[in-house]
Structures are given as structure tokens and as C-alpha cells.
A and B are shown apart, each in its own frame.
Chain A
């Protein structure tokens, strides 16, 4: 038995274990992603063409006012990009590395607040301020992620989650009480570079958001498919075993938590640019819980699951919140019962798709292939 199987499996092992594709084959394999990318790039113009509105807004005097279907649709998608980046980063840590954190909102909120403070009080040229914000946000969220990660050496599982919750709540309370950012009212960010001001040039905010979204998606896919990513998944499956294989698992967890924190910081920056403000709510634990729910609904440990979860829930939120359904004499105001309905949807999705939408779909696909 041992002798006959030496040589034959080598080739099949390589081809079947993962795709090693050339450019053209890669294009064919990932055609759906490329198609979605093209649609997203053209999206403002497609909506503008369908509705007859300009994707750049409506002219008033010598400048553009942000009015029209296309501009409105762009704002929805910018929010989705920010959310999706947040949820993808959460999934890197939770879905691929198996680290449960309840404090992800801290990184998200810091992204918004640090940028707001630098732009408003830095006294710099707005463009320079934006660049400085980018560097500071990446540095602070990175260092903070590293420190939080170090604690994962001592605390595991739910204890680590509680620790992160405590840290994040401290951040929330801090910014809620901070006077220079107007406490509970939050900080308005007025001095923003004109080219990325959503009140003047929303389409550029849209493309910056799209770029961040695509880069995050590609980065996480590459990372997870690399040797380091294999170790992330090994840690998720069985951390002790990974250690006994010879991995210094702390090093890998630190890496995952730090990258996730930095990406969440960038997502927070994007949201703050879009809203032109940083409010304490972005630091609230409910942001983390939303990210967790979106990960679970979309599919834990899948690449597209977080994107589906984030966009699905945000679209439902946007279009159902205002809706009033009238059936004969019965009028249901969904806005009033929104949380109830959301809870119902969540229960339904978890029952129908026990591994999330994408996770369950993949399992069905695999079972189908095996039976064929």
C-alpha cells in the first residue's frame, strides 16, 4: 500500500488542492467577480441613465447640488462599501482565525474620530490633513490591534471577547464625554478636501469607497489563501494542535487581529467622510454586533459572505425602514416595528441557511459535486 501510492498522488494533489492559474484562466475562473466590478464601476452612470439624472448631481449656479437618483444610489453604496470592509475585516479575525471579539467598533470609531480631529483641529491643508489622517489611523489602529492581540495570549475565547468589549466600551464612553468633539452630539467634519466632499463631489467618494472595498476583498483573499492564511484556519480549527505542529500561534493571531483592526479603521474613515461627521454611535457595541450578525448571515469564513451580509442587511434597512404596507384595511408601518422584523429575518436566515447564505450554498454545491 505504501509503495504504490508514493508517486501518483503528487500531480493530482497539486492540481486539485488549489487553482494555480494563468491570467486568462484566472479571468475565466473569476468571471463573476470581474462582472460585478465592471457593474460597480459603471453603476453611477447606469442609474443616471435609467433615471435621467446626472451622476454628478444637479447644477445650481456655478456648482453642483447633490440631488437625483444616481447621487442617492451612490450614497447607499458608499455606506455598503464602508460596512462591507468592516464586516470583511471582522470575518478575517472571527471567520478565518477563530478569534471572537466584541470590540471591533473601537477600531471603526477610531478611524472616524481620528480623521475628524486631525481635519478639524490639525490646522493643516485639508489634503495634507487627509494624508496625515490615513497614516495616523493606520498606525493607531495597528498598534492598538497589536496590543489587544497580545492579550489573546492570556485570555481565550469568551474571556478575550469580554476583554475587547470592555476596551471598546471605554472608547465609546471616552468619546461620548470628550468636549472638543461635542460629546454625544458628535463632531462635524467641515474642513474636508473639496475633491472628496460628498456634498460636492459624491462620485469621487464613491470611487474611493469602491477602491477600498475592492482592495480589502483582494487583500483578504490573498492573505487567506497564502501559507499564513492556512495557519489562521488551522488556529481556528484547533489552536493547540497548530502549536504542536510547530507554529507560534500568537504571532499569527497578532497578525490577523492587527490587519483586521487597520481595515476597520479605514472603513470608519470612509463612513466619516460620507457622513461628514463622527458620532459616538460608531463606537457602540451595536456596531460590532451588526458586523457579527452580517458575518453569520452571509457565511462565516467565506470571502463573499460578509459582502452579501453587509449589503443585504443595509439594503433591507434602507428600503424597508420607511415602507408602509397596506393590505386592504390593514396598514403596517414597518419603520415602527423595524427591529422586530429584523430579528425575525435573522431567525429565518439562520434556520434556512445554518452556515450563512454563502456557506450553505457552498456546502450544497460540494454535496452536489460529490454525488455526481
Chain B
């Protein structure tokens, strides 16, 4: 068994009287791809926000690489090696693709408070940014404004911004959200390539069952703020409780997607 890189201990978050996350514990193994699934409103994104530091938990601890980071502000966690993406596309729309990624490289550099020299003099930043953009397949679109990329391109750009500072762990919140179905396999290939080449640990929230079952090492299932089950993809598909609560719901999802013109 490999090392545990990220550990959630009895994490709990209450908004007023609503318990969004109810005492969830989770161990993420170094180098694994760990997916979190669950119906809408299960508390997956809130759980992510607790790990990444956007919210303080009501109770419970977050342990990252052996250190307790529960009270660490969001921006410092990035410096510790955590990278996070968002369900909705979250980029700097009016800056170029390269500048978006260059900013991500600069963020974790110790030279980021230089206010006198031109940014162009910091070779390392631009080279690293260009390398990462090549990795996700945006090498040819570096100088266009980020807003002019197609949706799939923007998701790749997010991935590049995430990879730029070379984080130890990636928290991906629905990386395929809103993507046309024919673009999904390409993004999955990119995620897989990144994982193999850069040897990253990935925690991923995902709705797309084909995606989750295909590439996950472990899957955690959440429902109503609680952790329902955890295991390998095979174990999860066979788990009767999960079938009842979540996979039953999946068929609703399929219908719903078909109604919206998408595809499951």
C-alpha cells in the first residue's frame, strides 16, 4: 500500500441548520486517481471547498502531506502543492492563453513580488507555461485571448493552469462539465497522459459514469452530505446500497441528459 497524501478526518460543514457535509473521512493514496460521485446536492463540491480552503469546516481536520492544513488560507495551500479546478470555467478571459498560465507559474515562484522588471525577463515562467500548454495540447493557441477559445479549449486551459506550478495533488471539480460528448474522450486522454507523465495524484468529482468507471483507482460515493461507500470501481458497481441510492438515480440522469440533447 502506498502513502496517504491527503486525509480528511470527520469533516463537517453546516450552513445554518443545513448539514452540507456530515463527518466525511477520506484517505487519498499517493499517485492514485480517486473519484467522488454522488447525486446533485450530495455535498461533493462543498467537500472540495473544505479541502481546498475556500470554506472552514465546522469540525474535523484536513491533513495534507502529513501536515494539518485545516486553518491554512486558500492561497497558501496552493504553495504547499495543491491545485484545484472549478465546475464552471474559471479563467482570466481578457488575458492571453499564455498569460493565464504564466500567472499560474508565477504564483508559486518566490519572484512574484518583483514590481520593476518586465515580466518578459522571467524566462522560467514563460518556458514552463509554454511547456504545460504543449502538454494539454494548446501549444498553437498561446497568443489568443482566453475568451476566444472554444469551451473544450477553456477546460484544457484550466488544466494547464492547474498543472503549471507542478502541484502534488489535483482537485478536479467536474472536468467534463458542459462539454460536448465528442470532446470528453480527448480531455480524458489528456488527464490520463498528465497522470502518467507527471505522476500526479488526482481527486475528481465527476458525473459522467463512463469516465469515472474507466479511469478511477478508487471511488467514493456521497449522498446527502454523507459518505455512502468507498472502493474500487468493481466494488462500487456491485454495492447494493450504492445501486439503490445512486445508480438508480443515474437512469434519471440519463433521461434528463437525453432531454437536454446531451448524451450519457
Interface residues of A (CB under 8 A from B): 1-2, 4-6, 8-10, 12-14, 16-20, 222-223, 225-231, 233-234, 237-238, 240-249, 251, 255
Which chain B residue has the least Cβ–Cβ distance from A221?
B118
- In the complex formed, the residue of A with least CB distance to B90 is A241
Q: List 30 A-B contacts (CB under 8 A).
A: A1-B137, A2-B190, A2-B193, A5-B133, A5-B134, A6-B139, A8-B139, A9-B134, A10-B127, A13-B127, A13-B129, A13-B130, A14-B126, A16-B143, A17-B143, A225-B119, A226-B119, A227-B106, A227-B111, A227-B117, A230-B99, A237-B93, A237-B94, A240-B90, A242-B103, A244-B74, A244-B75, A244-B84, A245-B107, A246-B75
- Complex contact A17–B99 (CB within 8 A): yes
Give A7's nearest chain B residue, CB to CB: B134
State the CA gap A12–B143 with chains docked (Å): 10
Contact B115 A226 (CB under 8 A): yes
A18 touches B118 (CB 8 A): yes
Alpha-carbon separation in the docked complex, A17 to B95 (Å): 11
A365 to B197, CA, bound (A): 41
Q: Kindly list chain A residues whose C-beta atoms are within 8 Å of the C-beta of B52.
A: 244
Q: Is the interface of A mostly helix, strand, loop or mixed?
A: helix
CB <8 Å contact, B107 and A229: no
Closest to A251 in B: B113
CB distance from B143 to the nearest CB of A (A): 6
A103 CA / B245 CA spacing, docked (Å): 56
Q: Contact mask B104-125 → A, CB, 8 Å, 1/0?
A: 1011100111111111111101
Distance from A19 Cβ to chain B, minimum over Cβ atoms (Å): 7
Q: How large is the interface on B (under 10, 10 to 19, 20 to 34, 35 or more residues)?
A: 35 or more
Closest 9 CB pairs of A and B: A5-B139, A246-B78, A18-B120, A5-B134, A246-B107, A228-B115, A237-B92, A13-B130, A245-B107
Name the A residues within 8 Å of B91 (CB-CB).
Answer: 238, 241
Interface contact A17-B78, CB-CB below 8 Å: no
Q: B12-28: which residues lie under 8 A (CB-CB) from chain A? A: none
Partner of B131, one of A6, A222, A230, A237: A6
- For B130, the chain A residues whose CB sits under 8 A away are 9-10, 13
Known: A231-B103, A234-B103. A18 touches B119 (CB 8 A): yes
Chain A residues with Cβ below 8 Å from B134 are: 2, 5-6, 9
Once bound together, how far apart are the Cα atoms of A2 and B135, in whole Å? 5
Number of A-B contacts (CB under 8 A): 146
Inter-chain contacts of A248 with B (CB < 8 A):
73, 75
Contact B120–A17 (Cβ < 8 Å)? yes
Let me know if A226 and B114 touch, CB within 8 A. Answer: yes
Other contacts beyond A5-B137, A6-B134, A9-B142: 19, CB < 8 A: A2-B134, A4-B139, A13-B126, A13-B142, A14-B123, A16-B142, A223-B116, A225-B118, A226-B114, A226-B115, A227-B106, A230-B119, A231-B103, A233-B92, A234-B95, A237-B95, A240-B90, A242-B103, A246-B78
A234 to chain B, nearest CB (A): 5
CB distance from A281 to the nearest CB of B (A): 34
Beta-carbon contact of B117 and A226 below 8 Å: yes
Give the nearest-CB partner of B107 in chain A: A246
Chain B residue nearest to A226 (CB atoms) is B115
Residues of B within 8 A of A234 (CB): 92, 95, 103
Most buried by A among B96, B102, B107: B107
Of A18, A228, A246, which one neighbours B114 at CB under 8 angstroms?
Answer: A228
B115 touches A255 (CB 8 A): yes
CA distance A281 to B95 in the complex (A): 39
A30 to chain B, nearest CB (A): 13
Identity of the chain A residue whose Cβ is nearest the Cβ of B131 in the assembled complex: A6
Interface residue B227 (Cβ < 8 Å from any Cβ of A): no
Q: Nearest-CB distance from A200 to chain B (Å)?
A: 38
Name the interface residues of B162-181: CB closer than 8 Å to any CB of A.
165
Q: How far is the CA of A157 from the CA of B215 in the complex (A)?
A: 42
Contacts of A231 in B (CB 8 A): 103, 106, 112
B140 interfacial contact with A, CB 8 Å = yes
Q: How far is the CA of A247 from the CA of B74 in the complex (A)?
A: 9
> Residues of A contacting B118 with CB < 8 Å?
18-20, 222, 225-226
| Cα separation A229 to B122 with both chains bound (whole Å) | 14
Contact string against A for B residues 57-98, beta-carbon threshold 8 Å, 1 for contact and 0 otherwise: 000000000000000011110110000101000111111101
- Look across to chain B and name the residue whose beta carbon is closest to the beta carbon of A8: B139
B193 to chain A, nearest CB (A): 6
B33 touches A (CB below 8 Å): no
Within the assembled complex, what's the spacing in Å between the Cα atoms of A242 and B111? 16
Question: In the docked arrangement, what's the CA distance between A118 and B91, Å?
Answer: 49
